[in-house]
A and B are shown apart, each in its own frame.
Chain A
Amino acid sequence: MTFGAEFVALTLPPMVIAMLAAMACAAPGNFLLLRRQAMLGDAMSHVVLPGIVAAFLLTGSAAQPVMLMGALAAAALSAALIEVLRRITGAEPGAAMGATFTALFASGVLLLESSGAGGIHLDVEHALYGSLEALIWIDATGWASLTDPAALATLPPELPALALATLVILTALALVWRPLTIATFDEGFATSIGLPTRLISAALTGLAALAAVAAFSAVGSILTIAMLICPAATARLLTDRLSHQMALSLLIAAAAAGLGTLIAGYLPPALGLSFSVSAAGSVATLSGLFLGLAACFGPRRHSRAASR
């Protein structure tokens, strides 16, 4: 097997899937961050698990659309629970979210364990770390396969699904960019010019949930959380313009995902190490590293420090 054949079959699909998942999450993550709702991203990526398990148990189907509906329903349910908890107990939003999503995630784990994980391609470990390495392209024989329709038809189904989800998320954000920006900066003013601010909030939550669902099956909930927040937080430190922040966050997300998968695949063997590391783990670690670098050496930090 040549390097090209091995790369296209074993490394390229997980790498592209990780990059798509990272970008799908990073885009809505920018607005979650600015709305101080980073925790909501955390909540979304956790409630996906009970949603998927419940959908499987109710329908007996593990098809992508069924999983998606289950996860979206769980996201909606958790949003409602968070609101109810806030109103009844007067708890701060972060506490209400934390209580809701950890309880739902835990119930998802119990549900998964007690129902037997056999029929569904999920176990607790995959729910946390994803199964990037398993998303290989068996029929690929080399770079030529990228132009071979027969070979392309056997791509892992997660790849086209994630490509579609990423496209939907980016298009939706481009369409509502101005009202979403105005409502994020100044909700009172947005309402006063007739913008449907509640609908806009709900739509953003929906997009974050879609990103979390789409990314979850491939990369698991830990990487989903990292991807919803880290690239946007890194980009925020590098620029003071929202459009630039969005573009940078997508670039950073893709870079972390691409580099992370390559590192996980090639670095341990290159160093002569006998163990392997998880691709999702190295992508998430790299995202955190980028954020740390931006915090230490980013231009914004210095200019702000100087202006105070």
Chain B
Amino acid sequence: MVDPTPLAVPETALTLSGLTVAYAGMAAVEDASARFPVGTMTAIIGPNGAGKSTLLKAALGLIPAVAGEVRAFGKPVAASLGRIAYVPQRAAVDWDFPARVIDVVRMGQYRQTGLLGRLTPGLKAQAMDCLARLGMEDFAQRQIGALSGGQQQRVFLARALAQGGDLIILDEPFTGVDAATEAAIIGVLHALRAQGRTIIAVHHDLSTVPAYFDRVLLMNRRVIAEGTTATTFRRATVAQAYGDGLLSAIPA
């Protein structure tokens, strides 16, 4: 049966409503509400311990939330996981694991191959293509522990590309990477945004926010401000999140 009233295409990739997360009784994220429009690229910024990573993990259901609701593409987030690619912090995994670069990228294709599914030539070519987009095709057979930090971050992003998600969530993708890697990653992310994908990243380098991101979400346990970079990334709002100091780089 065809639905008589065609649903409007949801224009919001991710919506958080009153999300609260607690560790051992202490609120790490308190009553966070935010929306991330489709086709935008948002930086989540705030001081250390502000709950940025926690916010993302709770939004994806990786850690339990005390209260609040998360919807992705108009559905509960658990029902939309197939459209979301998550890139954890590089330090979250043991890079001494016995795997090659290509093995990690192919983990991103799990939904296509399933439990026993074999990798078709098409999927193998796609995995190599994802590596090539990050300039890593020559490293496909390399043991992951033998890579530099920047190369490891590129492999993680290649895995996200292999997932083919519409919403890409990255936890500190630029931490501890070299300048070439940062440029390669931002190039890929901007290309994805140009295709209408939505990108959310925890970011630390305030000086690159205006160049990289079109939206910001400022937080310090609570959401302090969210909106376009032009209107929201202002000295007064950032000072609210960080306290004073280190603000000379930001337009007044």
Contacts and interface: CB of A to CB of B under 8 A. Distances in A.
B82 interface: yes
Contacts of A185: 93-94, 97, 99, 104, 107
Contact of A189 (B88, B94, B115, B145): B88
A189 B171 CA distance: 11
B98 A192 contact: no
Main secondary structure of the interface of A (DSSP, over half): helix
Contacts of B82: 194
A188 B163 CA distance: 15
Contact of A179 (B57, B104, B115): B115
Contacts of A121: none
Interface residues of A, number: 27
A241 B99 contact: yes
A270 to B, nearest CB: 39
A36 B96 CA distance: 12
A241 B88 contact: no
B62 A192 contact: yes
Contacts of A181: 99, 107
Contacts of A242: 97-99, 103
Given A193-B110, A193-B111, A188 B62 contact: yes
Contacts, number: 73
Interface string A160-199: 0000000000000001101101101110110111110000
B251 to A, nearest CB: 35
Interface in A80-124: none
A216 to B, nearest CB: 29
B97 A178 contact: no
B61 to A, nearest CB: 7
A77 interface: no
Interface of A: 34, 36, 175-176, 178-179, 181-182, 184-186, 188-189, 191-195, 236, 239-242, 244-245, 304, 307
19 contacts: A34-B94, A34-B98, A175-B116, A179-B110, A181-B107, A185-B93, A185-B99, A186-B93, A191-B60, A192-B60, A193-B111, A194-B82, A194-B111, A236-B98, A240-B98, A240-B145, A241-B103, A242-B98, A304-B145
